[in-house]
Structure 1
Amino acid sequence: MEDLKKNDIIPLEITDITNEGNGVGRYNGIAVFVPSTAVGDVIECRIVKVKSSFCYGRAESYTVRSDTRIESDCPVSKLCGGCSFRHIIYEEECRIKDNFIRESFERIGKLSPEYLPFSGCKDIDLYRNKAQYPVAETEGKAVCGFYAKRSHRVVEFTRCRLQPKIFSDIVDKIISYVNTRHIPAYDEVRLSGLLRHIYLRRGANSGEIMVCLVVTSIKKAGVFDDLVPALLDSFSDIKTVLLNENPRNTNVILGEKMKYLYGDGSIKDTMCGNTVSISPLSFYQVNTHQAELLYAMAAELAGLSENMTLLDLYCGTGTIGLSMARQVKKLIGVEIIQPAIDNAVVNAKANGIENAEFICGDAGKIAKLLYERGERPDVIIADPARRGCDGESLEYMAKMSPDRIVMISCNHTTAARDCAILGELGYSCDKVMGFDLFPRTTHVECVVLMSKEK
């Protein structure tokens, strides 16, 4: 690229925001991406990286500051990889996220649905019911915090504004214990040490707390014998403490082996009026109160009635399907993670729901099995992981010929792709609504109504 080189300083107006949260402007037709900027900013930009067709830059100074710009209220927001929008007002964040969804459905899916009004979040701080803190060693001491952007370097900081304050207090107590007893933190380079992550979950309505320590070897668990009484003395809401063993050189946080130090390895919460049991491996929306609004909209779009069969694909612990079970004749839930299915069965029993069947297995393979055994659900709810639905799932969802498919997605790009495929299989994309379950981050959920074409 002849026009720009590293360390050039150029004037740049920020005109858009990318899905990664970077501001973007154009200089002589070349896109320049700049973090921590807002639409309307006019900056002096230093070029820090030059690629074949675009550049990355850094704001050196501001000629004009956007009307939507504010000062970040977090001292590590520019270092941590968690929040990308602490420098703009929340109304602008919602506009940006709504635009993310619209662009994906129109550009990727080539779809033209009705867009329902975007649902912002009432509480933009302290909303998370789950946190996973990496542990590292600095100057001979264990430290805890969050990974810096695009790295595995731990930024030492536990007072995250997205987490409830009690999480910070618990983590500080654990790190103090670890350092007092000289328990080695995991070293990713040397592949040595014991404590890798501190993983916490909390029932947003019940207040019950789970403490899970991810370690390289459960056989060395004896060093934590005195931690449990110390935690219980300070935090009465802790209902279970457990160890998770992960000896592998991997970015995946949790391993498969568990050891319970206190309690039965689960906590309880209420969601959509149902009591739910949550284990470490269970999927459970991190923003409970906003998820309840999302599920209510999904139920409204589903148009359920008492003579219907509802298929809940990627059902996790059953929270979505069970919230709708009393409105239908039969509920079938499908999930590949066995502990989540176990939780779903417990959740159904605990709430007196007797019309639910839960099956453990891959969504596509079970959808095919259900089709072959003659199941013809009236409505299908699909809530896949970020990668979206696989081809087999989409094929057999359409073959079962439900009147409506309601998709809940944490990735609007894969949702748009999947809805376009369903369009080729006979379903129209009617309505899309965005929900902000992750304020101050780039993540956003959406719910989509697909209807069988007559």
Structure 2
Amino acid sequence: MEKNEIREGIVNSIGYNGEGIIKEDNFVIFVPFSLPGEKINYKVLKVHKNIVYGKLLEVKTPAENRERPTCSVYTKCGGCQYQHLRYYRQLKQKSLVVQDCLKKIAKINIEVPLTVKSDLIYGYRNKLVIPVNRDESGVKIGFYACNSHRIVDTTDCSLHSSWVKDIIQCFRTYIKQNDVYCYSEQDKNGSLRHIVVREINGKFIIVAVTKDKLKNIDKLIEVLQTKFKFFSLYINYNDKDTNVVTGENFDLVYGESGLKQTDFGITYEVGPQTFLQVNNGVKIKLYSDIKKFVSNCNANFVIDAYSGAGLLSSIVAKCGNTVHSVEIVKEACEYAEKLAKNNGIQDNMTVHYGDCSQIIPQIIQGCNGDFQIILDPPRKGVDRKLLSIIKNSKPKQIIYCSCSPQTLSRDLGIILGTIDEESGEFVKTDSPESEYEISYIQPYDMFPQTKHVETLVFLERI
């Protein structure tokens, strides 16, 4: 098999990243945007030993589950992987991914139920992060192509509501009318480099991320006022050459510092750095299930690790539990403390600012084993040191919420003793020993049209 060769094949299955997989002779061929059962023509882009990466050229025999994408830049933009797949099949595929990861990574064989659907399969995202870049052809505002920093210029995104189109248009107008010298990935110079927006009940927090001083900010405010009635505008300065979107300093130049939202009878405030699930409808379903399981456990203390702005902590505290909320982002901790006070649950909820692996061992000492722990870590999973501490401290129940089936599987394998680390690699243990068992596992479609899935797992002490 040679690079640039045009070949025909029949797709056998779908990979973790949503690509179709063809198995031919000794080769495994990955072709994005193709579906099982389809006969396709594809171009060979890269060959590495027996692994081949191809580009879909033609679908000769479409699968019954093929759907017409709604986005004009689908297959070019790297944001979505499943718009060509009917929604019910997306749900089934995400369940299979979780199940397969548990089997291959954690060496755990368990049947994973159908993924809980999102009521909105488009227009569900309440947060926008979109890069801005200047090149020889001009200024581009759009999303990165897959596995690159090449921006696919766009005017809209179907995963967000109609406001995203107005945001992009406002910034294009501001840039053009004020001759804004935007950031360039090539020469590392310029100002505006990202636009970040959070929408809460028709109100917006807008962040302009810039390397250098942004000119004529008053003109940007005027342009935004033509489309948005209620908004706050922050200027964030980020002069680092990294993949991190925002810098440390946020300057409020217009509007209120945060937005208020009410869920489960809890009113809370969201700021420009606050973590919040991007899909409100699925968030309610997910948190409702967590609340139910916490209520059914008779532990006196609940530790909420990676707690963000404290919404989940406060929901649990409102039920009468004594909650320790632990978060490393200072702004989020400040909002969590304000949340507890404003909702009259400060006696039940203590907010801790700092690294979970350093703070939680101190909290555990005061719980005398009478506690349960909620883990909702970033995509990289739980700190290895913290996992060891949790295992040794033996909480009554472990609730793990994850946006990565891969790191979830690794961490569950460690907790349940089904895998050990040897020379930097995880291997199956001969005789797994654990004081816990999985009593519940459920994926949730927090991110329709994409390969991503949220998974909730409850571990009960045997």
Give the alignment partner of residue 239 of structure 2, picking from 222, 233, 247: 247
Work out whether 1:17 is the aligned partner of 2:26: no
Aligned to 1:226, the other structure's residue is in SS state: helix
Work out whether 1:400 is the aligned partner of 2:398: no
Q: Which residue of 2 aligns with 1:227?
A: 220
Evaluate the alpha carbon distance shift between residue 278 and residue 63 of structure 1 in structure 2; reply closer, same or farther with a 3 A threshold.
same
What aligned pairs does 1:156-305 form with structure 2 within 5 A after superposition? 156-203=153-200, 206-217=201-212, 220-238=213-231, 240-304=232-296
Q: Which stretch shows the higher mean deviation, 425-434 or 88-97?
A: 425-434
Give the alignment partner of residue 80 of structure 2, picking from 83, 92, 116: 83
Please report the RMSD computed on the Cα atoms of aligned residues, expressed in angstroms: 1.8
Alignment check: 8 A CA contact 1:113 1:432 kept: no
Alignment check: 8 A CA contact 2:96 2:112 kept: no
Alignment check: 8 A CA contact 1:208 1:268 kept: no
Query: Residue 234 of structure 1: CA displacement?
Result: 3.1
Alignment check: 8 A CA contact 1:116 1:431 kept: no
Query: Residue 361 of structure 1: CA displacement?
Result: 1.1
Query: Residue 42 of structure 1: CA displacement?
Result: 1.4
Alignment check: 8 A CA contact 1:69 1:88 kept: yes
Work out whether 1:447 is the aligned partner of 2:456: yes
| Aligned mates of 2:137, 2:261 — CA distance in 1 | 39
Evaluate the alpha carbon distance shift between residue 49 and residue 211 of structure 1 in structure 2; reply closer, same or farther with a 3 A threshold.
same
Aligned to 1:259, the other structure's residue is in SS state: strand
Alignment check: 8 A CA contact 2:105 2:409 kept: yes
Structure 2, gaps ≥5 residues long: 418-433
Residue identity in the other structure for 2:443: G
| Aligned mates of 1:24, 1:385 — CA distance in 2 | 29
Evaluate the alpha carbon distance shift between residue 27 and residue 322 of structure 1 in structure 2; reply closer, same or farther with a 3 A threshold.
same
| Aligned mates of 1:41, 1:114 — CA distance in 2 | 27
Alignment check: 8 A CA contact 1:137 1:186 kept: yes
Structure 1, gaps ≥5 residues long: none
Work out whether 1:431 is the aligned partner of 2:443: no
Alignment check: 8 A CA contact 1:114 1:430 kept: no
Q: Which residue of 2 aligns with 1:353?
A: 345
Q: Which residue of 2 aligns with 1:372?
A: 365
| Aligned mates of 1:140, 1:15 — CA distance in 2 | 41
Q: Which residue of 2 aligns with 1:381?
A: 374
Aligned length: 445
Query: Residue 68 of structure 1: CA displacement?
Result: 0.6
Moved over 6 A (4+): none
| Aligned mates of 1:193, 1:9 — CA distance in 2 | 42
Alignment check: 8 A CA contact 1:306 1:329 kept: no
| Aligned mates of 1:34, 1:119 — CA distance in 2 | 27
Query: Residue 374 of structure 1: CA displacement?
Result: 4.4
Alignment check: 8 A CA contact 2:157 2:164 kept: no
TM-score normalised to structure 1 length: 0.94
Q: Which residue of 2 aligns with 1:149?
A: 146
TM-score normalised to structure 2 length: 0.92
Evaluate the alpha carbon distance shift between residue 63 and residue 232 of structure 1 in structure 2; reply closer, same or farther with a 3 A threshold.
closer
Q: What is the CA deviation profile of residues 396-422 of structure 1, one whole-angstrom value per residue up to 9, with x for unaligned ones?
A: 223332211110000011111111111
Query: Residue 358 of structure 1: CA displacement?
Result: 0.7
Alignment check: 8 A CA contact 1:304 1:328 kept: no
Q: Which residue of 1 aligns with 2:426?
A: none
Work out whether 1:26 is the aligned partner of 2:19: no
Alignment check: 8 A CA contact 1:23 1:35 kept: yes
Residue identity in the other structure for 1:392: K
Give the alignment partner of residue 48 of structure 1, picking from 24, 28, 45: 45
Q: Which residue of 2 aligns with 1:322?
A: 314
Aligned to 2:142, the other structure's residue is in SS state: strand
Q: What is the CA deviation profile of residues 169-227 of structure 1, one whole-angstrom value per residue up to 9, with x for unaligned ones?
A: 02211220121110111011111111011110011xx222101100113xx34521232
Alignment check: 8 A CA contact 2:99 2:111 kept: no
| Aligned mates of 1:44, 1:232 — CA distance in 2 | 49
Work out whether 1:123 is the aligned partner of 2:120: yes
Q: Which residue of 1 aligns with 2:33?
A: 36
Alignment check: 8 A CA contact 2:304 2:323 kept: yes
Query: Residue 392 of structure 1: CA displacement?
Result: 1.8
| Aligned mates of 2:460, 2:70 — CA distance in 1 | 44
| Aligned mates of 2:341, 2:225 — CA distance in 1 | 29
Give the alignment partner of residue 107 of structure 1, picking from 100, 104, 129: 104
Alignment check: 8 A CA contact 1:302 1:405 kept: no
Q: Aligned residues: percent identity?
A: 29
Alignment check: 8 A CA contact 1:419 1:429 kept: no
